[in-house]
Amino acid sequence: MAKEKSMALREELKQFSENSKKEIKQLYEKIKKRPLTCLICIIVIVTAVVLLIALPYWRVTQFGISDPKDLADAENSYRATFAQILGGIAVGIGIYFAWGNLTTAREGQITERFTRAVEQLGSEKLEIRLGGIYALERIANESDKDYWPIMEILTAYVRMNSKIDNISMTIQEKERITKGDPVKEIQRISFDIQTVLTVLGRRKYTHNHGESGNLDLTNTCLDKAELESAHLEEAYINLAHLKGATLDGAHFEGAHFVDVNLDFSWLEGTHLERADLRGASIKRAHLTGVYLIDAHLETANLEHSILEKAHLNRADLIFTCLEDAYLPKVDIREANLLEANFREAWLEEADLRGANLEGADFEGADFEGANLEGTYNLTIEQLSKARTLYNAKLDPQLETPLREKYPALFEKPQDET
């Protein structure tokens, strides 16, 4: 009997030992995962022991109380005070962990919303896709962690669903052979693509102001897009079609528009400082008051476009075509106009001071009231082909021989007499 009890006791002790090992191992794993939390708990426990046991006794002994009852009362009074302090600390710790749990739960909800919104983008129903787009915008405004991934998803959506290759041959052929109003024949982008562009244009951050990356809308069809006052600084929009688009007052500083098609577009007051528009087609566009300071427009085509009061200071206009363009009061100071085509262009009161005009073609150009002082590489032969130099300001070495050989250039144009 005694032997059986002894065996049973050994089994219990063995089981207890194994359970203890498991619990210790589990505790160790938790400590490894949350070392800071465990350290805080140890500090709190040690502090509690010191405050509730040792410290009250030490403080009371300083008063020299001899009566045991008074001594006990004093100790209890201290302990009650310290207990309240510890209670406040415990509440604070509880709030801290509760906030952590709340944050974790909130992140989980955002992840769930994120996943659902992305799934909605693949729906065949327009209203569901729109819901997904607006849901992603809301998440981007709430979560900085998810902000840039959402911008990448939205731009990828545009690239996949409105790329140039997706334009049907029927539409292209229609645009090519039409004899009517070419603007009316331009196919407008779909409503969901326009919605994405609107969301991108009003996002809460911009390049170098909360964003370090660049939006990518390369090779996209954005014809007749509406992007008034949008912020797309430093964006990549190379090879895109923006025919008939409305971009008035938009910000495209430093944007990349290489070989883009902006024919018939509206860019009044648009900011394109430092933008790269090499090889761009911007024919019959409205660019009144546009800001193209330090922009690259090499080989771009702006024929028949309106650039009244445009800002082209220090812009590169090498081999740029501005034939029959309307440029009154344009500011082209210090720009590089090497081999640029200004045939039949209207340059009344234009400011070309300090510009490089080497090889530029001014045949039939109207320079009435223009300022050509201090220009570089401008020749008598170039100006002799102009329509008029009436009231134009020229350097003496150009004006004197021109007046002698071509006095009619300085007379008031016949249509204004």
- Interval 314-351: pLDDT, tens: 999 999 999 999 999 999 999 999 999 999 999 999 99
Longest dimension (CA), the chain: 140
Taking only the tens place, the pLDDT of each residue in 385-411 is: 999 999 999 999 999 999 999 999 999
The pLDDT assigned to 414 comes to 79
If you search the block for the tokens 């569901």, which residue do you land on? 128
Nearest Cα neighbor of 389 from 397, 379, 381, 399 is 399
Taking only the tens place, the pLDDT of each residue in 64-119 is: 555 566 556 555 665 666 666 666 666 666 666 555 555 555 665 778 999 999 99
Residue 131 located in a structural domain:
no
Residue 57 located in a structural domain:
yes
**Rounded-to-integer distance, Cα 173 and Cα 287, Å:** 28
Residue 376 located in a structural domain:
no
Residue 77 located in a structural domain:
yes
Are 358 and 340 contacting, i.e. CB atoms less than 8 angstroms apart? no
Taking only the tens place, the pLDDT of each residue in 274-290 is: 999 999 999 999 999 99
Are 150 and 121 contacting, i.e. CB atoms less than 8 angstroms apart? no
Q: In terms of pLDDT, which residue wins out, 326 or 25?
A: 326
The pLDDT assigned to 74 comes to 56
**Rounded-to-integer distance, Cα 351 and Cα 273, Å:** 18
Average pLDDT over residues 347-359: 98
pLDDT at 169 over 70: no
Residue 133 located in a structural domain:
no
Residue 54 located in a structural domain:
yes
**Rounded-to-integer distance, Cα 247 and Cα 230, Å:** 8
Nearest Cα neighbor of 197 from 267, 265, 250 is 250
The pLDDT assigned to 164 comes to 86
Taking only the tens place, the pLDDT of each residue in 27-54 is: 566 556 666 666 666 776 666 666 555 5
The pLDDT assigned to 147 comes to 96
Nearest Cα neighbor of 139 from 121, 127, 124, 123 is 121
pLDDT at 376 over 80: yes
How many domains would you assign to the chain?
1
3-state secondary structure of 303: coil
Residue 104 located in a structural domain:
no
Domain that residue 56 falls in: 32-62+72-91
Taking only the tens place, the pLDDT of each residue in 230-249 is: 999 999 999 999 999 999 99
Nearest Cα neighbor of 266 from 229, 317, 320, 217 is 229
The pLDDT assigned to 23 comes to 63
Are 292 and 270 contacting, i.e. CB atoms less than 8 angstroms apart? no
Model confidence pTM above 0.95: no
Residue 46 located in a structural domain:
yes
If you search the block for the tokens 């302090």, which residue do you land on? 85
DSSP-assigned letter for residue 251:
B
Taking only the tens place, the pLDDT of each residue in 178-206 is: 556 777 789 999 999 999 999 999 999 99
**Rounded-to-integer distance, Cα 134 and Cα 392, Å:** 55
Q: If pLDDT is split at 50, 70 and 90, which confidence band does 417 have? A: very low
**Rounded-to-integer distance, Cα 219 and Cα 161, Å:** 11
